[in-house]
Structure 1
Amino acid sequence: MKKTLFFLSLLIVFVFSMVYNGFGKVDHVQVSIEESTAFSKEEINEAVVAVKKKFKDFIGCTLTHIWYIEDKSMKITDDYMKYGNGSVNGVQQENVIVLLSSFKVGSSGGDGSLEPHSTYTDWNWIVVRDDHSDKWRVDDWGY
């Protein structure tokens, strides 16, 4: 009986630690937003929310900083519209915003595609919406 309780206790601790450590962490993210002529602060902040939501899929990772710099965003948006999904999905350029981020990867390496125990900087998040009145959604990410 004692062995059963001991193993049951270990199992509960293991499951709890997997659940707690399993999702990407977005609790203490530094957010920096540069002035924009293309988007309001509210629109940019709504795009940040979409990125944070998607980042929770990055198992064992911690988002540390997310930022918007209009010049960089516009350059990456141009490339997305010419060579990326924007060239085929019908999204209008005014409904595309690019945010940049830094994040730390834990021992798991996220989904296995990230280098464990590393930091990624200038990671792109291409966030789109169908129309000015629609919610933002992450369409692509990476370098």
Structure 2
Amino acid sequence: MKKMITTILCLMLTLLFVGCGKADTSEVEIDYGTSSLYSKEDMDAAIKVIRKQFRSFEGCELHSLSYISDETCSDPDTLAWMNDLRTEKDEKEPFTQCIAFDSSFRSPENGGGAWEANEEYTWSWWLARSEGGKWKLMTWGY
């Protein structure tokens, strides 16, 4: 019995410490806007990629993600920009679609690294894909 309790306590402590320092993406307000280009499933797939990247922002808390607009995402100049980034990142297949979200998030309470302490940031996230492919995060930031 003692071994089982010790094992359970060790597992609980491990889970507690593994979660420390990672960014919080659990309570995110999502604004899908209105889109004739993308379904909710398309947007959710892109949001999943954003959340994965955001988790590396130690101590930050993601508050919201908002779809930018069909107008911006269907602009030929925007798609050309994504394809310029594609060649810089050695992506082979040309992109035919792009999607973008604005976000707001809070930096770590004590700051650190590139973060000002306890500040609200607003960033844009740009993703692209080939028709029916997986979203690739191309750039993000101010």
> TM-score normalized by structure 1?
0.71
Q: How many positions carry a matched residue from both structures?
A: 125
Q: Does 1:109 align with 2:103?
A: no
* Match of residue 73 from structure 2: 74
Summarize deviations over 1:2-35 as a string: whole Å, max 9, x none: xxxxxxxxxxx9xx56x43311110010001111
Moved more, 31-40 or 96-105: 31-40
**1:80/1:86 contact within 8 Å kept:** no
**1:30/1:64 contact within 8 Å kept:** yes
**1:73/1:99 contact within 8 Å kept:** no
The CA distance in 2 between the partners of 1:135 and 1:51, in whole Å, is 13
From the superposition, tell whether residues 20 and 77 of structure 1 become closer, same or farther in structure 2 (CA, over 3 Å). Answer: farther
Percentage of pairs with the same residue: 29
Partner-residue secondary structure (3-state), 2:36: coil
The CA distance in 1 between the partners of 2:71 and 2:115, in whole Å, is 24
Partner-residue secondary structure (3-state), 1:45: helix
Moved over 6 A (4+): none
Instruction: State the shift of 1:127 in Å.
Output: 1.2
1:25-36 matched pairs, under 5 angstroms: 25-36=24-35
Instruction: State the shift of 1:79 in Å.
Output: 4.6
* Match of residue 57 from structure 2: 58
Q: What letter corresponds to residue 118 of structure 1 in structure 2?
A: E
* Match of residue 49 from structure 1: 48
> Which residues of structure 2 form unaligned runs of 5+?
1-12
Instruction: State the shift of 1:52 in Å.
Output: 0.7
What's the C-alpha RMSD, in Å, of the aligned pairs? 3.0
**2:79/2:97 contact within 8 Å kept:** no
From the superposition, tell whether residues 114 and 78 of structure 1 become closer, same or farther in structure 2 (CA, over 3 Å). Answer: farther
**1:80/1:87 contact within 8 Å kept:** no
Instruction: State the shift of 1:71 in Å.
Output: 5.1
* Match of residue 99 from structure 1: 101
**1:77/1:96 contact within 8 Å kept:** no
